Amino acid sequence: MSTMFDGYGAGGPAFDEMFDGAQLRSPYLRLRDSLEKMTTPELVSRVEALQASYLDQGVTFDIGGEERAFPLDILPRVIETDTWSTINRGVQQRVKALEMFLSDVYDAGNVFNDGVIPREVIMTSSHFHRAAATIRPANGVRVHVAGIDLIRDNAGEFRVLEDNARVPSGVSYVMTNRRAISAALPETITQHRIRPVAGYPQRLLSALRAAAPAGVTDPTVVVLTPGVYNGAYFEHALLARTMGVELVEGRDLVCRRGEVMMRTTKGLAPVHVIYRRIDDEFLDPVHFRADSMLGCPGMIDAARAGNVTLANAVGNGVADDKLVYTYLPDIIRYYLSEEPVLRNVDTWRLDDPESREEVLDRLDELVLKPVDGSGGKGIVIGPRATAEELDVLRVKLLEDPRAWIAQPVVQLSTVPTFVDGELGPRHVDLRPFAVNDGDDVWVLPGGLTRVALAKGELIVNSSRGGGSKDTWVLAGPLESITVGQQQEQQQQQASAADSVAGEIATEGTDAC
């Protein structure tokens, strides 16, 4: 065993994905064999080169006014074929159920009439929008892109932590991480048969084109961004460039006679599909925030008239509501007549009096989450909270129990991570991305692994100091993955990323 792993210290209740006690798990055998030939100083130099490359690309984020490279750990996370097969089936099942659920919620409402979920749960969700009612997408798809957050519990089972069906972000890191790690560990990556991730933009473009309004055979697709000062602008620009479509802002669009048009140097041109990376509330000042300058007036009316498709659909946020999440197992059974492939994390609904009483008695043992929170904001981890913090939380729960859920403290699985010159276990989650073209739900083989870089930290979000890892899904024996294919995809992706980095540098902004 390499001295690099001496004193690694994987232990405690968390499931370590590389080691089972002192025994190495099979997916990591080749990775260990490659890394044991490398000295720690050599690994440090490669880490420094990795960080420099991300700064050069503009893959950065801002902490206290200081621009830093988005943290990418040099050690990849490896997932074997059989494990990924279960994840793949579970994510596909979940997206199909969410698709049927959202279509029903904004139309017939059978899920309410049949008692699967109370109507009040949806009507009181901050992400429910009446303006989206009865808008029927051309090919029936509302969830064109989904990000399903998974964790691996202390028994090694993958479970769903939350759903993202509004504007899921992070896929740019999946692609750029692969490129960066391929450069940092070339001798290691060539020893593995890893399923490529660079084909995502073409999958996404195909799904967006398939969603074009009826009768449009050669649709114009655009990516709608809030602009260069948005934290995910790098991703917006990268996806537009790799799909070969225009990146537009709200000021580039205008609605005329129920159609959306794009301003060009040759005049107005029709737009048929908008992959929007703007939250619902800022999309159309006619129906939502009147002070928004990010969207375009009349866009919702154009979608209702069937002249443009918004991807993802407006109103999808009800599926992201963490109270709705607690009903997803029943929703899957209702629409698909199947048992969930991936189980939820055990959760208490605070709007239920008995559950609320139990949670109030156990505040110092549980994790409390706001139902419409994101980025780890508002989460209270009971065992780490002070008595004063718990007292404040108790008042909030009693004032608005619908706004909270409670879960046990789940020890997220750990993966070896190189931090401050040392190797140690750090907690991770996984966000697989799914693309729905109306005929098939395709899951990108890999996804975004987020890692909590602080020792013992359970919140992995970048806003809380987290980073990411390249996620390697090993190819099965019947899958043909050649080194040449991987290199060709990486070169195409590198060219697009370099072009985007140049654009960002020209605009003088940072993107994370």
pLDDT given at position 507: 41
Q: Which run of H or of E encompasses 424?
A: strand 422-431
3-state secondary structure of 476: coil
Q: State the sign of the Cα–Cα–Cα–Cα dihedral 329, 375, 247, 183.
A: negative
Q: Is the pLDDT of residue 61 over 80?
A: no
Q: How far apart are CA 378 and CA 449, in angstroms?
A: 22
Instruction: Write out pLDDT tens, residues 387-423.
Output: 999 999 999 999 999 999 999 998 899 999 988 888 8
Instruction: Write out pLDDT tens, residues 307-345.
Output: 999 999 999 999 999 999 999 999 999 999 999 999 999
Q: Is the pLDDT of residue 498 over 60?
A: no
**By the 8 A CB rule, do 359 and 397 touch?**
yes
pLDDT given at position 493: 47
pLDDT given at position 60: 65
The mean-pLDDT minimum among 63-67, 154-158, 162-166, 456-460 falls in 63-67
Q: Is the pLDDT of residue 478 over 70?
A: no
- Residue 436 amino acid letter: N
Per-residue CA distances from 24 to 3, 10, 20, 416 (Å): 14, 11, 6, 12
pLDDT given at position 63: 56
Instruction: Write out pLDDT tens, residues 220-231.
Output: 999 999 999 888
The mean-pLDDT minimum among 300-304, 461-465, 493-497 falls in 493-497
Per-residue CA distances from 36 to 42, 67, 187 (Å): 11, 33, 12
Other Cβ atoms within 10 Å of 41 Cβ, number: 9
3-state secondary structure of 426: strand
HSE on the CB side for 197, CA within 13 Å? Answer: 27
pLDDT given at position 387: 94
The mean-pLDDT minimum among 135-139, 257-261, 340-344 falls in 135-139
pTM value surpassing 0.85: yes
Q: Is the pLDDT of residue 288 over 50?
A: yes
Q: Is the pLDDT of residue 218 over 90?
A: yes
Residues 35-46 have a mean pLDDT of 83
Q: Are strands 221-224 and 273-276 parallel, antiparallel or unpaired?
A: parallel
pLDDT > 70: percent of the chain? 89
pLDDT given at position 460: 87
Q: Is the pLDDT of residue 281 over 90?
A: yes
Residues 24-43 have a mean pLDDT of 84
Q: Write down the mean pLDDT value for the chain.
A: 89
**By the 8 A CB rule, do 299 and 335 touch?**
no
pLDDT given at position 13: 84
pLDDT given at position 30: 85
Q: Position of tokens 């993958």?
A: 158
Per-residue CA distances from 70 to 235, 469, 512 (Å): 13, 11, 6
What is the spatial order of strands in the sheet that 348-349 belongs to? 348-349, 404-408, 366-370, 380-381
pLDDT given at position 329: 98
Instruction: Write out pLDDT tens, residues 70-115.
Output: 789 999 999 999 999 999 999 999 999 999 999 999 999 999 999 9
